[in-house]
Each structure stands twice: as C-alpha cells, then as structure tokens.
Amino acid sequence: MSKIIIGIDEAGRGPVMGPLVMAALAFKDEDIQKLEWLGVKDSKLLSALVREELFERIHELVADFRIEVIEPDAIDLSLSEVETNLNWLEADTSIRLISEMSPDRIILDCPSVNIPAYKEYVQSKLPERMKIAELIVEHKADVNHLPVAAASVVAKVIRDRYIDRLKVDMGIDFGSGYMSDPKTKKFLEENYEKFPHLFRKKWKSFTNLVQAKKQKKLGEF
C-alpha cells in the first residue's frame, strides 16, 4: 500500500506587497522519484519559465493538495497580536492544510530559528488521528526534500500569477512587490495611501517610509 508524503512550503514571505501563499502537496511515495526526473528543485533555483512548465507536471503527480493565499491584512493581524507572529501564522496555516489530508509523513520547511519549538508546536496542534505520522521539520527542506521543493514551485507560481493579474487589473507595473525592486519602492512611495490594502502595513519598510513622509510634511511648515 502506498504511503502518502506531504511537503509544505511558502512563497512571498518577505515582500512589502501582495499575499503569502502556502502550498501543501501530497504524493504517493512511489511518485517521489518522478519529481526528480522532472527536474523539480527549490523554486529559487529555477527560472520563471521552468517553474511554469513544472507547475503543470507536478499537478499531474499530486495525490492531493491544499493551497492558502494569505492577504496582507491577515499578515498584519498576525503581527499585531502579542502571542503570534509570521512564524506562528505559517505554523497554524500548515496545520490547517495538513489536517484536511491523511499523510504518513509530513515535511515542513521551518521558518523559525528554533526548530524543536516549532516542531513541538505543530505536533501538539495536529488532530489526534495524525499524530502517528512522521513529522520532519528542518531548515532548507525545499532543497533537501522533493515534495517540499514541489510545494515551493507551486506556491511561487501561484503568487507570481496573482501579482501579474493584479498588475493587469490595475494597469500599473509595480514590480515584484519586494522593496529591493525600484518599481515597487517607487509605487509604495507614491501610492501607500491610495492602495493601502495591497501593502503589509506592519512591515518595517512600510512604516519607515510612512514615517519619513510625515516628517517631510512637517518640515514643510
């Protein structure tokens, strides 16, 4: 009987604009080798064109999957509450996605520096029926485990498509959403009040820019 392996990863953790996308992909253990044959690897090591090609091929192999798109306001909320942060938001989302499937092994890419604490948290929140599943939590799981690499590709493609649709709908090329992108930085400077729903307002880059703008306005008096 086939064992079910779930890999979980995210895309869009760092940008000031747009959603965080999380993907949980379930594969039969005999299909894992096929991911390697396809050339699946951590999405950051692949071009956008290759990711798009792999997206369709991965879809043909998955036994089950769950996707969650977390909008900027939900991310801001996670940073506003005393007992949570972005790491715990990822953990809670992972648990929710996993809980809808029936894995024998779960592999998570850990965003926290404290792997034991993160693993313990996830383990404690899993439904009782799933506590017998093997839980692997580690840094660079998207490099070391093909199911997680596949999840990273799917999450990245979904986020990129989301951003591309947004640009078309708005008729504005605001870049990648990362502050290292000059287009994004310029768009934020000119539109942070006009399109507040697009931005992660708890992000340091956002608050720093708004503060600088306010100081400039005061200096004009």
Helix 204-219 × helix 182-191 angle, to 10°: 50
Residue 98 has pLDDT above 90, yes or no: yes
| Structure confidence at residue 138 (pLDDT) | 96
Mean pLDDT (whole number) for 87-92 = 93
| Structure confidence at residue 218 (pLDDT) | 52
Instruction: Kindly indicate the confidence band of residue 21, based on its pLDDT and cuts at 50, 70 and 90.
Output: very high
Instruction: Kindly indicate the confidence band of residue 51, based on its pLDDT and cuts at 50, 70 and 90.
Output: very high
Domain spans, the chain: 4-166, 173-211
Among the residue ranges 67-71, 72-76, 153-157, the one predicted with the least confidence is 72-76
Residue 82 has pLDDT above 60, yes or no: no
| Structure confidence at residue 206 (pLDDT) | 86
Mapping DSSP onto H, E and C, the string for 170-210 reads HCCCCCCCCCCCHHHHHHHHHHCCCCHHHECCCCHHHHHHH
Q: Is the pTM higher than 0.85?
A: yes
What is the average pLDDT value for the chain, to the nearest integer?
A: 91
Q: Are 29 and 188 in contact (CB under 8 A)?
A: no
- Return the ∠ at Cα 156 (arms to 94 and 39), rounded to 5°: 105
Mean pLDDT (whole number) for 163-178 = 94
Residues 197-217: tens digit of each pLDDT: 899 998 888 888 778 877 766
Q: Which CATH number fits domain 4-166: 3.30.365.10, 3.40.640.10, 3.30.420.10, 1.20.1630.10?
A: 3.30.420.10
